[in-house]
Structure 1
Amino acid sequence: MTLSPPLQVCSRLLAAVAGGYAVAAALAVFLGAVLPMARAEAVLMGTYASFAAYTAAIVWAFSPQPLARVWLTLALAGVVLGGAGMLLARGGSGA
């Protein structure tokens, strides 16, 4: 199924905003659980890294990649990073 150009732009915009946010939030959780430093510092570093990831996801969503690949990659990255981060955070110190 081929979308019209205006719908492709809207879909890429939605992927950039929603998918980029999901990946950035998942990365922040993952890095907060994985980085080998004090919990507060790890969360802060994860949050800093998430800003760069969000910007990269927005730029990448408008690259000349097929639209299905953009959605699939952002969804897969968000699910994998978020799931791994939540599992690791749950198994942590519990503080």
Structure 2
Amino acid sequence: MNKLAIPSRILAAALGGYALANSGAILLAAALPGGQAEAVTWGLLASFLIYTAAVMWVFSVRSALRAWLGVLVPGFVCGALAWILMQGGTP
């Protein structure tokens, strides 16, 4: 096992999980129907679940590369979808 595998996973959990949770919260806030305040609240509540799942994912996969890919790829997808939704939405 590589010496940097555990520190890399810790960084993936902390930074990658944070990025995934934030982009997921923004996507949910942009996509959920109802009032803006309610959508933001539900998005923020869901971000705690997303972050917890990301941390568990990072430490359950076989390699640090899979851990990084498992948090960064969905994070970029959520961010891109949120950006697309916000571009087409009303101001």
Shift of 1:90: 2.5
What's the counterpart of residue 80 of structure 1? Answer: 77
Q: Which residue of 1 aligns with 2:47?
A: 50
C-alpha offsets along residues 31-83 of structure 1, whole Å, 9 cap, x if unaligned?
00111111111111001000110011111111143221111121111100011
Question: How many residues are treated as equivalent by the alignment?
Answer: 91
**Distance in 1, Cα, partners of 2:15 & 2:50:** 13
| Structure 2 alignment gaps of length 5 or more | none
Residue correspondence of structure 1 range 32-51 to structure 2 within 5 A: 32-51=29-48
State percent identity of aligned pairs: 44
Structure 2 partner of 1:61: 58
Q: Counterparts of 1:52 and 1:60 in 2: how far apart (Å)?
A: 12
TM-score, scaled relative to structure 2: 0.92
Equivalent residue, structure 2, for 1:19: 16
RMSD: 1.2
Which residue in the other structure is 1:92 paired with? 89
* 1:37–1:65 Cα change, 3 Å: farther
User: Structure 1: how far apart are the matches of 2:22 and 2:61?
Assistant: 25
Structure 1 unmatched runs, 5+: none
The residue number in structure 2 matching 1:3 is 2
